[in-house]
Structure 1
């Protein structure tokens, strides 16, 4: 049983995960803010939503770091994407998920 209500605890956990990802270099400042919003919506929809989102982010971050030198050598002159995800990338990858979580809250 949780000490804090889910609408408080969920955003707090989302902010903590986003801060850790920002410090680790996985998110820009704007990406951390967007991740906090997406994560808050997911956690408020229910812990399975939040847990899935965290698992997805950790797996995607690990996959993007794996073989980074080879990928940069192959695409460095074509794609100028840095290692940190910005708010657009967070919303592109998590926006539909957050919308589905919001709809799940509104229409259980």
Structure 2
């Protein structure tokens, strides 16, 4: 069976809380598919389908909790930078610099 292709156009527009909740499952699945979290997922169906099969984002949340704090913050800052229009490389570079600065100030 071919891998599910979730395009941004397939995700309903987010205009309020209810529309955000409707789009949540598609967003989690798209993110977990792009990060290929299915490779480490304990759910055999996800591994077999080579795509996330959990609409609640359980796999993604488990992986994020397992990451070191520095990596998790870098990821969050990079996503924030991307939302502000930076290209992926620049967004990650600025995120890593921000985390390094926080660590240097003693923010662990």
TM-score normalised to structure 1 length: 0.30
The structure whose Rg is larger is 2
- Return the structure number with greater helix share: 1
